[in-house]
Amino acid sequence: MSANSWLATGNFFTTYKQEQRTFLTSLDRSFFTLFLVLLFGWPLLFELSNKYMLVVDNILIAIVAVMGLNLVTGFAGLISIGHAAFVGIGAYTVASFCQTIGDSHIIVTHFWPVLIIFSGLVGAVFGAIVGLPALRLKHLYLAIATLSFQMIFQWTIQFMTFFNQGQTIYVGRVFWFTGKIGRKDHYLFWYFIILTIVILLGFGIRNLLKTRYGRCLVAVRDNDRAADAMGMNPGLTKVYAFALAGFFAGVAGALHAYVYRGVGFESFTLHESIGYLAMAIVGGLGTLNGSFWGPVAIKFLDLQVETLAETAGQYLPSSMNLATALKPFSFGLVIVLFLMFEPRGIANWWRIVKSYTKLWPFRY
Amino acid sequence: MKNKNFLTALLILIVMFAFTASANAGGKVYKLGMSLAITGPTSDAGNPYAKGTEDYFKFVNDTKILGDDTIDCTIRDDQYKTDVTKRNFEEYLDDGIVMYLNYSTGSTLGLKRDFDEEKIATLPASYHAGNLDGSNYIFLPIASYSDQLVILAEYVAKNHKGGKAKVALFVHPSAFGRGPVVDVEKAVAAGLNIELVEVVEHGKDLDNTAMLKRLMSKNVQYVISQTVQSPVATMIKDSQRLGLTASSFGEAGKLTFMGAHYTGGNDLIALAGTAAENFFWTTGFNITSVPGEGTTKQLALAKRYNRDQKAANSHNYAAGIMVAQVATEAIRRTKAAGLEINKANLYNTLNKMNGANAYNPYSTTGPVTYSKTDRMGVDMLQIYSVQNGVFRAVGEPVESEYMKKIK
């Protein structure tokens, strides 16, 4: 390790402890702290309309979900194409409480942090159950198993009257120490909450990856037989990877329920699952910061294409309905381009920028 | 020098006065918002619907129906996604809209509580009766899907020859499709003389042979649909291929197909071709294949704003015009009463739109009536049937008898 923790231009670890530090230099830590201050501070300085605050909240929720997906698909190498169903499990856990005890019950409105964690745990249980086929299945076969979970989830929600057959189940407005959170502050309030959760879970993943459990994930991904020979338990590792992903998804689902103040089936379809997978790919599979980049990029692209399609819809002939095709076309194109030209995702660009600035003014 | 300063000050004052005067002469701008599927699922209906609304508001502003005041209605595409609808609605609230126009059943149900919290009158394109449950601010433009299906069932009961008519319902697998089933069952329980043999929730089947054969084996003669055009088109084409379609209403041993608002229209004929012949359909809108004063005005409006023939002749274009007409009329009446145009006053005006104050837009088959206890606009629905490739009126507009009994 460099003697000067502020001006280190390379990583020269002399102990394992040094390698396991969250921030390699004081400069890293300072930048990160400043970044956090900015993240928490900007909404107090610049007032954003509810519309855009909702967009920001939505991105943060997607980040929580994609962090989970990245754990199971990126780090553990297990393809999951039913992630939206896990998010739905979290949302419908909150919805179940609302259906059973009423959406304005104190548990829903006052004890929402407990309910969010509980939704995560329910997601983890379902994740572990769905992860069981991973003991026997691999690759495409496992992907089909997760797809079938998505189908079962959709069918169950759409046909059970308890879940309102997929129609919206309302969630009451929550209370904070200052009282009931009204419409004016709703999205801003949830911004701070979700941001806090993102940071906590982000650190959680970062620390997990330094533990033996985290290293097991990567080892099983790279070669599960070799991992087995090294004394790891690949089966258990796969199941707990799914459980962890389920926890993250469950938390994301509960947050979705609270932010939208309702749970409807259409937010948790196969299309959404593919969307999460796209976010993970575009962001960078197997990287923590890829979980942040992906949702930001895809949601931003969505917004831009929406505007473009809306404008195009007014001018293109309605009989051909070309504007409708713009969104899936651009979405597919972005994924294909990333897979072809930057399979490591935006996270790789970030890595390049970081290594350049770290070594600057030297080239290597 | 003093004179020069004085002249400059005078000039500035004149310019300021001119600007102030022109601002006043411009009248007030009333903001409205609309969110619907211009692209994505159901955009075949949403696209002409949006055009109808847009054109009518343009017409209102161009022809000064509200004097110097104008309506600024922002229309946004939500791609049939409730999440996006919610975002659009939040944007409109920030913009200070006084009335809101929504689209799908899912998003109307999803945002129902928001409409009540914001106390904003909302006119959706969804005629799902469940929209009105526990809501004070949703106003259905025409009678609900339940009314539509019960009216068709009543028509079957009245015109079927020989015993009790055996009926099957063919519905969309969602609240939009399932909602009216309960009401049809209630109507049957209340004495409507039909036998409800089966309720089929369709999937995305490309072939309905098995279903149609099953219905025939149960001696079903009438299939009433509550869904969108494409599954109906698939079903009636299969029926034609199998030789099961009745050539006239209620032909024995054959199937007569019927459907609610979103199953019919020119799009169904375009999709199903000759298989659409003798399809019975009900809606609350005038259609251009049955010419009248209303449809002439509709076509003139479409021509004025350079719409293609497909949009101009769409019943969804008429539906879009209708909600714009109701919103405009509510603003006009509120203004005439000397009241400020705001959410509360428009809501009250809509509630008074009944009796002698009922509103007769040219786009509908009957008057629009609302009150605190009646949130369905047009109660009189027209039954149409396809004859020689176009929809023709069957009798006069009717109101459901059994819906009154079961409410």
pLDDT of residue B195: 95
A312, containing H or E segment:
helix A290-315
B92, B110 in Cβ contact below 8 A?
no
Contacts of B4 (CB under 8 A, 6+ apart): none
Cβ separation A158–B48 shorter than 8 A: no
b/e per residue A54-91 (b: at least 16 CB within 10 A): bbbbbbbbbbbbbbbbbbbbbbbbbbbbbbbbbbbbbb
* 3-class DSSP state of B67: coil
Which CATH number belongs to the domain containing residue B155 in this structure? 3.40.50.2300
In this complex, do A165 and B174 lie within 8 Å of one another by their Cβ atoms? yes
Q: For chain A, how far is it from start to end, CA to CA, in angstroms?
A: 17
CA dist B380 and B226 (Å) reads 19
Q: Per residue in B352-392, pLDDT tens? A: 999 999 999 999 999 999 999 999 999 999 999 999 999 99
Distance of residue B17 Cα from the nearest chain A Cα, in angstroms: 34
- A168 contacts on B by Cβ (under 8 Å): 82, 106, 109-110, 112
Instruction: Identify the pLDDT of residue B21.
Output: 45
Q: How far is B106 from chain A (nearest CA, A)?
A: 7
What is d(CA A106, CA A101) in angstroms, rounded to the nearest whole number? 9
Closest by alpha carbon to A113, among A192, A9, A22, A28? A192
The arithmetic mean of pLDDT across residues A349-354, rounded, is: 87
Structure tokens at B383: 């039954």
Least confident among A43-57, A300-314, B87-101, B139-153 = A300-314
In a domain, B176, yes or no: yes
Give the span between the Cα atoms of A96 and A171, in whole angstroms.
10
> Do B184 and B78 share a domain, yes or no?
no
> Any idea which residue has 């003389």 for tokens?
B193
Cross-strand pairs, B140: B376
**How far apart, in whole angstroms, are the C-alpha atoms of residue B146 and residue A186?**
36
Distance CA A36, CA B389 (A): 66
Question: What tokens appear for A232 in the block?
Answer: 């790891």
**Where do the domains of chain A lie?**
46-274
Take residue A105 and report the two structure tokens written for it: 């019950």
* Separation between Cα atoms, residue B65 and residue B124, nearest integer Å: 23
Q: What is the pLDDT of residue B23?
A: 44
Q: Are strands A169-170 and A262-263 parallel, antiparallel or unpaired?
A: antiparallel
Predicted local distance difference test score (pLDDT) of residue B22: 46
Longest dimension (CA), chain A: 69
pLDDT band at A307 (very low <50, low <70, confident <90, very high): confident
pLDDT for position B163: 86
In which residue are the tokens 């469950």 written? A250
- Which of the four pLDDT bands, split at 50, 70 and 90, describes residue A328? confident
Distance CA B316, CA B68 (A): 29
Clarify whether residues B86 and B217 are in a common domain.
Answer: no
Task: Write out chain B residues lying below 8 Å of A321, CB-based.
Answer: 39, 43-44, 47
Per-position b or e across B182-201, b if 16+ CB within 10 A of its CB: ebbebbbeeebebebbebbb
Assess whether B278 and B392 both reside in one domain: yes
Which range marks the domain in which residue B315 is found? 29-143+290-374
CB contact under 8 A, B90 and A58: no
Q: Does residue B337 sit in the same domain as residue B388?
A: no
Can you name the residues that pair with B195 across neighbouring β-strands?
B166
Partners of A60 in the beta sheet? Answer: none
Q: Are B166 and B137 in contact (CB under 8 A)?
A: no
Nearest Cα residue to B137 out of B377, B373, B347, B329: B347
What's the token pair of residue B70?
Answer: 């104008």
What does the alpha-carbon distance between residue A246 and residue A280 come to, in Å, rounded to a whole number?
15
For residue A206, name the pLDDT band (cuts at 50, 70, 90): very high
Q: Is residue B12 in a domain? A: no
pLDDT of A71 > 70? The answer is: yes
CA distance B91 to chain A (A): 5
The first and second tokens of residue B399, run together, are: 């109101």
How many residues can be counted in chain A? 364
In the block, tokens 């009766």 appear at: B129
Query: Are B298 and B343 within one domain?
Result: yes
- Nearest of B258, B332, B242, B319 to residue B286 by alpha carbon: B319
**Tokens 């036998």 sit at which residue?**
B195
Does residue B364 sit in the same domain as residue B299?
yes
Are residues B277 and B398 both part of a single domain? yes
Closest approach of B87 to chain A, Cα-based (Å): 5
The answer on pLDDT for A315 being more than 50 is: yes
ipTM: 0.85
Chain A residues near any Cβ of chain B (below 8 Å): 49-51, 54-55, 58, 158, 165-168, 170, 183, 187, 260-262, 264, 266-267, 306, 309-310, 313-314, 317-319, 321, 323-324, 326-327
Cβ–Cβ under 8 Å, residues A124 and A93: no
Q: Which of the residues B35, B36, B38, B39 would you substitute to probe the A interface, choosing the one with the greatest number of A C-beta atoms within 10 Å?
A: B39
Residue contact A54–B82, C-beta within 8 A: no
- As given in the structure block, the two tokens for residue A355 are 């290594």
Token pair of A320, please?
A: 């051909």
Residues of B in contact with A54 (CB under 8 A): 86-87, 90
Clarify whether residues B216 and B330 are in a common domain.
no
Q: Is residue B14 part of a domain?
A: no
Cα–Cα dist A126/A123, whole Å: 5
Cα separation, A188 vs A178, in Å, equals 14
- B365 with B381: CB under 8 angstroms? yes
End-to-end CA distance of chain B: 83
Does residue B274 sit in the same domain as residue B388? yes
CB-CB neighbors (< 8 A) of A51 in chain B: 87-88, 90-91, 94
Asked if A306 lies within 8 A of B40 by C-beta distance, the reply is: no
Compute the residue count for chain B: 407
Give every CB contact of residue B218 below 8 A, 6+ residues apart in sequence: B166, B168, B197, B198
Cα separation, A149 vs A33, whole angstroms: 40
The pair phi, psi for residue B36, each rounded to 5°, is -160, 175
- Quote the pTM value: 0.87
Peptide bond into B397 cis (omega under 30): no
Residue A292 CA to residue B126 CA, distance in Å, equals 38
Which residues does chain B have with pLDDT short of 70? 1-26
Q: Which of B90, B109, B173 sits opposite A50 (nearest CB)?
A: B90
- Nearest CA to CA, how far is A304 from chain B (Å)? 13
Q: Measured between alpha carbons, how far is A287 from A170 in angstroms, rounded to an integer?
A: 36
Asked if A245 contacts A111 with a C-beta cutoff of 8 angstroms, the reply is: no
Token readout for B54 is 């847009």
B149/B265 same-domain check: yes
B94 with A50: Cβ contact below 8 A: yes
**Number of folded domains in chain B?**
2
